[in-house]
Amino acid sequence: MKENVSFFLPTRKGSERVKNKNIKPFAGIEGGLVENKVKQLLATKLIDEIVFSSNDEVCMEVASKYRDSRLRIIERPTELCLSTTNLQDLICYVPTVTDAEHILWGHVTTPLCGADQYDAGIKLYFDKLNEGYDSLVGVTELKNFLLNKDGKLINNTTNIPWPRTQDLEALYPINHTMFLAKREVYTGQKNRIGKKPMLYVMNELHSFDIDWPDDFVIAEIMYKNLYGNK
């Protein structure tokens, strides 16, 4: 029997770094990052439910343009939509709005992560569950010279002062495209990454995350070059 995957997609009012980030027109898409992400998720083959969770009426209005039985729009309590909200409280909230056995948490601010990337991540996750993994997290691979505050290389495991970059120990920054975990990770561990996560290594292009005004401009250029004007 197929186990259901629910995608938890949170937005909130009051973007502090990029004004109206979620709903300002993006790459020719009138409904902005919200509309883009809803369209991407509805194009997936392996996501059974999309829970759009927000306290922003405009965001919810944009999402509501799409009539699909998989899409549920839920107004999130104000106390879980503040810049001061404890992430742990939001994590504990997620399993109260879905009964799915597997929960995929993602963001509208990764506009170049589309249906193909989500489906590939979900497939990898299910392929690896029987190997003892309990979750999956989207990452990029970083191999570069990294110093600590004392000026020491922190990822050089060789005896050579300046090894080739490909011989440095790889580090894996989380890219915020997806956190996929069993329901019990949320309810039991109160986390969105389990004790044995599978690293889903993605390229820089599909991992791009919008955090600052310059990021929005760069993401638009990348999106238009990858997909054309939508």
pTM listed for this prediction: 0.93
Q: Which of 3, 2, 17, 57 is nearest to 34 (CA)?
A: 57
How confident is the model at residue 83, as a pLDDT? 85
Domain that holds residue 206: 5-139+174-227
CA dist 53 to 11, 39, 99, 153, 223, Å? Answer: 6, 16, 15, 42, 25
How confident is the model at residue 198, as a pLDDT? 97
In a domain, 165, yes or no: no
In a domain, 85, yes or no: yes
CATH at residue 16: 3.90.550.10
How confident is the model at residue 228, as a pLDDT? 76
How confident is the model at residue 230, as a pLDDT? 53
Check: CB of residue 68 under 8 Å from CB of residue 42: yes
Mean pLDDT of the chain: 94
How confident is the model at residue 1, as a pLDDT? 41
- The low-confidence residues of the chain, meaning pLDDT below 50, are 1
In a domain, 202, yes or no: yes
For residue 22, the SS3 value is: coil
In a domain, 92, yes or no: yes
Element containing residue 178 per DSSP (H, E): strand 174-182
**Euclidean distance between CA atoms 116 and 106, whole angstroms:** 14
Q: Beta strands 174-182 and 135-139: pairing type?
A: antiparallel
How big is the chain by its Cα radius of gyration, in Å?
19
In a domain, 155, yes or no: no
In a domain, 156, yes or no: no
How confident is the model at residue 2, as a pLDDT? 61
For residue 2, how far is the Cα from the chain centroid?
23
**Euclidean distance between CA atoms 211 and 215, whole angstroms:** 6
Helix, strand, coil shares, percent, the chain, to 5 = 35, 20, 45
**Euclidean distance between CA atoms 140 and 175, whole angstroms:** 6
In a domain, 148, yes or no: no
Q: Which positions ≥6 away from 221 have C-beta within 8 Å? A: none
How confident is the model at residue 227, as a pLDDT? 86
Total domain count, the chain: 1
In a domain, 112, yes or no: yes
How confident is the model at residue 19, as a pLDDT? 81
